[in-house]
Amino acid sequence: MQITIKYFGLLSEVTGCKEEVYEFSGGSIAKLIDELYVKHPSLRNKEFQVAQNQELVPLKTELISNEIVLLPPFSGG
């Protein structure tokens, strides 16, 4: 399945993109993140949370959306 991965803040800087389309064979978000670490080794030591359907989800969550968003620590206000 094709999914769109969006990167915000520092993460868009280290991956060099704000979003990308990625071919994923399915499974958990943790599995997807492991694959993204291979594609973007610079993500490995970065702190982030993952949002699916605009909600933060644990990594063990099954991927069900065609859009996954990687969010670094929030710093609004």
Partner 1 sequence: MDNKKPKSVFKQGAISSEFIADSIAKHQTKTSIGAHNIFLGQVRADVIQNKTVSAIEYTAYEEMANNKFHEIREATFEKFELTCMHIYHSLGLVKAGEICLFVFVSSPHRKMVFEALEYVVEEIKSKVPVFGKEIFEDNSHQWKINN
- Interacting residues toward partner 1 by CB under 8 A: 6, 8-10, 51, 54-55, 69, 71-77
In the bound state with partner 1, the residue whose beta carbon lies nearer, of 45 and 54, is 54
- Please provide residue 37's backbone torsions phi and psi, each rounded to the nearest 5 degrees: -60, -35
* Minimum CB distance to partner 1, residue 11 (Å): 9
Minimum Å distance from CB 54 to partner 1? 4
CA distance 33 to 44: 9
Cβ 3 to partner 1 shortest distance, Å: 16
Q: Which is nearer to partner 1, 6 or 31 (CB)?
A: 6
Pairing assessment for the beta strands 2-7 and 55-57 based on DSSP bridges: unpaired
Q: Which is nearer to partner 1, 32 or 70 (CB)?
A: 70
The residues, any chain, with a CB within 8 Å of residue 16's CB and separated by 6 or more, are none
Taking the C-alpha atoms of residue 14 and residue 26, their distance in angstroms, rounded to an integer, is 25
